Amino acid sequence: MKSKKRFIFAIVSYFISGVLNGQQVELDPITVTASLQPVTSSVTGRNILVIKGEQFSKLPVNSIDELLRYLPGIEVQMRGPMGAQSDIVLRGGTFQQVLVIVDGIRINDPNTGHFNSYIPIAPFEIERIEILKGASSAIYGSEAVGGVIHVITKTFAAKRDQKKQQLTAQGAAGEYGLLNGQLGAFYQNKNTSVAAGLISNNATGQPQRGTHGFFHNTTASLSFNQFINKNWSISARSAYDKRDFAAQNFYTTFSSDTASEKVTSFWNQLKLSYEKEHHNFTFDVGYKKVKDQYKFNSAGTANLNKSDLLQSLAVYKWEAGDKTSFTTGAQWVNKQMESNDRGNHTLNQAGTFVILNQKLGEHFYLNPAARLEWNERSGWELVPQMNLSYKLPFWQIRGSAGKTTRDADFTERFNNYNKALVTSGSIGNPDLVSEHSFSYEAGADFFGIRNVKIAATFFQQRFNQLIDYVPTPYADMPRKDNLLPTGTYALAKNIANVNSTGVETDIQYSKQFENKQQLWATFGFTWIDSKGDNASPSFYVSSHAKFLTNFNLQYSKKCFSVSINGLYKQRKVLNSTPINATISKDYFVLNAQLQVFLYKNKFSLFTQLDNIFDKQYSDLLGSRMPGRWLMSGFKVML
């Protein structure tokens, strides 16, 4: 372990001290996530990380959740590889407290937050990913507690009167029956653009307890954008996403668990935009339909869950002057569930919000926001937030404070409610109330070293009535209709108080040299301490990493490219005797890819090795992650 820590230290030292002459690459990019207006990230008062979509093809990753896993400050708790299933965690919260957005519209699933990483686009379509860390409910409402993952695509971000053509293809084969493929195309002719993408990851999988960790995960999408005239434009997308995978011990620690799961979703999105001088108006509609089939073992009856998410969002932006702008909007969300396990349910939510972007003097920026949130279960609630930024040539000092809110999903409220008999497992609670927190942070960004951005942030989140699963004796269960006195259960509860305190440091290095050389690196360090007043530890809050460091390093020259990524994590030790499983105190995972260009930069061959040190580990108890995995393939980019 000492040698691995020395390796991480060497990586950090290299790109912090690498102040060399060359072309300056922008490290203060434009973002729309923090205030729904295009502004540089340094004036928002928030810690924002922006990653270009082109980095996906240059790193040893096979799915979008794997890309997120190695970005600074993001903890991705993986149950399976290459898009099978992952929980996204920011700042030590639960996986339900991260809001995932595609081109401005939420995709968080009404059934369960376990499906939030099923982002229904192919990697080639990504223009950039913006990660907003910290409280964001004043703008986005429920679930934007720990932060926001915003995926912005090429068609929805297209500019007027341009001509572009891009085509990419990638294929790979490897151990354990691995066959992966990707296709992508983007075409723009002046004011019309079209994009299509496909990604498919398949394997018979590495051996598990009495089964294999197979997966067959495919996403296909088609999108277009049309600038109708100088003021109006319309964008649309349709996508199909299917995940079929081994799910052994994804949700239980029972020895009889040899589960498999199949999740199929359809995603449709429409955006209408109007822009004239200092005014901008957008209207978005999104519809998502998901079918989830989960089978605990070959002898059991499959759970069949069907969920629908229908939403609309209207946003108006007004630039009142050089130093003042307003954004206001309204949102409506309808969630539905049909399930042989959880019953049939409907929930409506709505909200209206206002955001002010104000520059005071030459260096100070003020960004207050407030949202009036409505939930048919809990009624109306005011959610305020204040963001401050003081910007100097090489420094940005920032601070933020705000309230957050999140309502329980259908699984937390009704899991295992409709079954005739539940011998053990997680039990939903329909009496859950919305959780709240007050979050604040203070940080600084440093741009004084050429090609380097260093961001450091202190944060604290004070949760009230946080929702999580807690071990609960049969005698204390509020409903015993289908339970056994001898059963072992975890009940979804509102925990009185949980406080999380942490520090995060993000470092980015990006540099282009002469002779078509490029070096790009990111490094993140996060420390979090969470404490609650509940006597029994809750499940997901106690599972987050106490110490996390993750990194990427990519170097390319004319004829070859080398990239590595990895993470080191410390967390709470857990054991399960029935399945002989352990959550170790820590683990380190390293991946690498070597790519050789045979015809300029248009055709290449690559070899990739995941989990180089063959580490045996799990992010969640019982969900065994793969060991060393070798694969090779080709890439074509035209």
Which pLDDT band, with edges at 50, 70 and 90, does 4 fall under?
Answer: low
| Cα–Cα distance list, 125 to 51, 156, 225, 235, 607 (Å) | 13, 10, 13, 14, 24
The predicted structure's pLDDT at residue 593: 97
Structure-token match 């989830």, residue found: 292
Residue 572 has pLDDT above 50, yes or no: yes
pLDDT at residue 95, as a whole number: 87
Task: Read off the pLDDT of residues 284-313 as tens digits, 9 standing for 90 and up.
Answer: 999 999 999 999 988 878 899 999 999 999
Mean pLDDT, the chain, whole residue set: 91
Contact 125, 154 (CB under 8 A): yes
User: What pLDDT score was predicted for residue 475?
Assistant: 92
Per-residue pLDDT, averaged over 390-405, amounts to 93
What is the residue whose two structure tokens read 């001088």?
277
Residues 6+ apart with CB under 8 A from 587: 568, 569, 615, 617
Q: What is the pLDDT of residue 3?
A: 53
**pLDDT of amino acid 563:** 96
Residues 6+ apart with CB under 8 A from 6: none
| 416-429: pLDDT as tens digits | 988 889 888 899 99
Give the residue from 102, 133, 143 showing the smallest Cα distance to 120.
Answer: 102
Mean pLDDT of 169-186: 96
pLDDT range class, residue 1, cuts 50, 70, 90: low
Q: Are 391 and 45 in contact (CB under 8 A)?
A: no
What pLDDT does residue 599 have? 79
**What does the alpha-carbon distance between residue 45 and residue 39 come to, in Å, rounded to a whole number?**
11
Pick the CATH number of 2-637 from 2.60.40.2310, 3.40.1160.10, 1.10.8.640, 2.40.170.20: 2.40.170.20
CA 425 – CA 303 distance, rounded (Å):
14
For 186-222, give the DSSP string: EEEEETEEEEEEEEEEEE---B-SSSB--EEEEEEEE
| 371-394: average pLDDT | 94
Q: What angle is formed at CA 524 by the lines to CA 523 and CA 527, rounded to 5 degrees?
A: 155
Instruction: Say whether 479 sits in a helix, a strand or coil.
Output: coil
For residue 214 the two structure tokens come to 């197979």
Strand partners, 276: 279
Q: Token pair for residue 394?
A: 């090489």
Geometric angle at alpha carbon 519, from 552 and 47, rounded to 5°: 55
Give the pLDDT mean for 405-411. 93
The DSSP bridge pattern shows strands 483-512 and 518-532 to be antiparallel
For residue 16, pLDDT beyond 80: no
Lowest mean pLDDT among 98-102, 382-386, 494-498, 532-536: 532-536
The percentage of the chain sitting over the pLDDT mark of 90, rounded to a whole number, equals: 74
pLDDT at residue 601, rounded to an integer: 77
pLDDT in tens, 236-277: 999 999 999 999 999 988 888 999 999 999 999 999 999 998
Read off the pLDDT band of 549 (50, 70, 90). very high
260-289 residues labelled b (16+ CB within 10 A) or e (exposed): bbbbbbebebbbbbebeeeebbbebbbbbe
Predicted local distance difference test score (pLDDT) of residue 12: 45
Domain ranges of the chain: 2-637
- How far is residue 542's CA from residue 168's CA, in Å, rounded to a whole number? 42
Cα 611 to Cα 614: distance, rounded to the nearest angstrom: 5
E strands in 253-295: 260-276, 279-295
3-state secondary structure 70-109: CCCCEEEEEEECCCCEEEEEECCCCHHHEEEEECCEECCC
Alpha-carbon distance of 263 to 243, in angstroms, equals 5
Phi, psi (rounded to 5 degrees) for 474: -55, -40
pLDDT of the residue at 168: 94
Residue 419, Cβ density class (10 Å: 0-12 exposed, 13-18 middle, ≥19 buried): middle
- For residue 120, give the amino acid letter: P
Portion of the chain with pLDDT greater than 70, in percent:
95
> Read out DSSP for 364-413?
EEEEEEEEEEEETTTEEEEEEEEEEEEE-SSEEEEEEEEEEEE---HHHH
Q: Do residues 127 and 166 make contact, with C-beta atoms less than 8 angstroms apart?
A: no
Closest CA to 463 of 418, 501, 428, 496: 496
Q: What is the pLDDT of residue 491?
A: 93
Better pLDDT: 393 or 137: 137
For position 537, what pLDDT does the model report?
Answer: 62
Please say whether the beta carbons of 607 and 563 come within 8 A: no
pLDDT for 13 equals: 47
Q: What is the pLDDT of residue 2?
A: 53
* Cα 32 versus chain centre, distance: 17
Q: What is the DSSP letter of 434?
A: P
Ranked by mean pLDDT, which of 40-44, 389-393, 585-589, 619-623 comes out on top?
585-589
**pLDDT tens string 75-118:** 999 999 999 999 999 998 888 999 999 999 999 999 998 999 99
Segment 202-217 shows an average pLDDT of 94
Angstrom distance (rounded) from CA 71 to CA 93: 17
Residue with tokens 């901008």: 280
Q: pLDDT of 48-57, one tens digit each? A: 999 998 888 8
Could you give the CA distance from residue 608 to residue 563 in angstroms, rounded to a whole number?
A: 9
Cα four-point dihedral sign 553, 554, 557, 561: positive
Whole-structure pTM value: 0.93
**Contacts of 154 by beta carbon, 8 Å cutoff, 6+ apart:** 53, 125, 126, 127, 186, 193, 195
